[in-house]
Structure 1
Amino acid sequence: MDLQEISDRLEIEGAVVRYTRGIDTGEWDLLDTVFTPDAEIDYTESGGIADTFPAVKAWLAEVLPAFFPKRMHSLAQVAITFDAEGTSDEALVTAYFHNPMPMDDGRGGQTVVEFGGLYHHTFVRTPDGWRSRRLHEEIVWKRGI
């Protein structure tokens, strides 16, 4: 592994962390540093939408705070595979996640909804750095729903 690959891997991992931080903190504009403007995002396995980044960003900002006022991701096992051509302009990235979120139980209390799964990104090198061109959220397990 050369210095360029080490740098690329750190930058991509940083983008994945910024993604979860943006979602958890509600800093929606932070997502602009993660995705390409035309990125395709698919949250259908968790009951969400599949659309382009601008539409999904607006949906997240509206829906998540309404149903899940607090959010917290944990990430693990970030696997990065660069394109087979050896140009390192594209990378397939899979990150394990655990995402517990408290929500109103409808009886004056709270319940915790949890998702565990895999974030599958396709990252591309852009003039602004590595950005995700595609995200598919694969749900492996859920609890509390």
Structure 2
Amino acid sequence: MDFSRNDLPAILARTTGFAEGETVDDRAEIVEVCTRMAVHADRREWDELAEVFAPAVTLDYTSLNGGEPGVLTPAEIVAAWSGFLGAFDATQHLVTNHLVTAAGDSAVCTASFQATHVLANRFGSPLWTLGGDYEFHLVRVEGSWKIAGVVMTVVWADGNKDLLALAAAGGAS
């Protein structure tokens, strides 16, 4: 089969599921931004964490906590997560199996996650692990991809769920 360099975008679209106008660079940046959310949270790099978010972010953790999704600013997310995640001795959020669909200046990235939370306590196991899916909604802001929404769907959990309440109260007693 003969083809020219100009045929490459159409071939990629047919063989990789790329949307019209979507590039390998877009996909790479989108996956990077979603991964950075987890890495910066686990490393307690709060300033860097704020940089992955759009000016307004819809967070939907209702599969875990019930309630309603909320719309927060990056500063509000950092304040909440630094207090909550910062109360754990350690956390590790693994994000993988990214599937990206982008069109113009918006994108959706679905990914699997496993999140382990560690907190020594006198009430039981120091570990609580969740597994499930993230659905990231992204927008291009001043030329860079930013997270404008996160839907977390918990599929399974193992360990001491009481760590959630202990961390929310500021750590182990």
Query: What's the TM-score bracket when you normalise by the shorter of the two chains?
Result: 0.7 to 0.9
Q: Which residue of 2 aligns with 1:93?
A: 109
Whether 1:74 aligns to 2:112 is no
Report % sequence identity: 27
Q: What is the count of residue pairs matched by the alignment?
A: 139
Q: Which residue of 2 aligns with 1:21?
A: 39
Are the aligned partners of 1:113 and 1:142 in contact in 2 as well (CA < 8 Å)?
A: yes
CA RMSD between the two structures: 2.2
Any idea what the Cα deviations from partners look like across 1:83-122, whole Å, max 9, x if unmatched? 3xxxx21111111011111112325x75210011111111
Q: Which residue of 1 aligns with 2:72?
A: 52
Deviation at 1:18, TM superposition (A): 0.8
Are the aligned partners of 1:41 and 1:56 in contact in 2 as well (CA < 8 Å)?
A: no
Q: Could you say which structure has the higher strand fraction?
A: 1
Distance 1:58 1:16, change over 3 A: same
Are the aligned partners of 2:133 and 2:153 in contact in 1 as well (CA < 8 Å)?
A: yes
36-45 vs 22-31, which deviates more? 36-45
Are the aligned partners of 1:123 and 1:133 in contact in 2 as well (CA < 8 Å)?
A: yes
Which is higher, the Rg of structure 1 or of structure 2?
A: 2
* C-alpha distance in structure 2 between counterparts of 1:121 and 1:140, whole Å: 17
Are the aligned partners of 2:89 and 2:120 in contact in 1 as well (CA < 8 Å)?
A: no
TM-score by length of 1: 0.84
Are the aligned partners of 1:50 and 1:56 in contact in 2 as well (CA < 8 Å)?
A: no
TM-score by length of 2: 0.72
Where in structure 2 are there 5+ consecutive unaligned residues?
A: 1-11, 14-20, 162-173
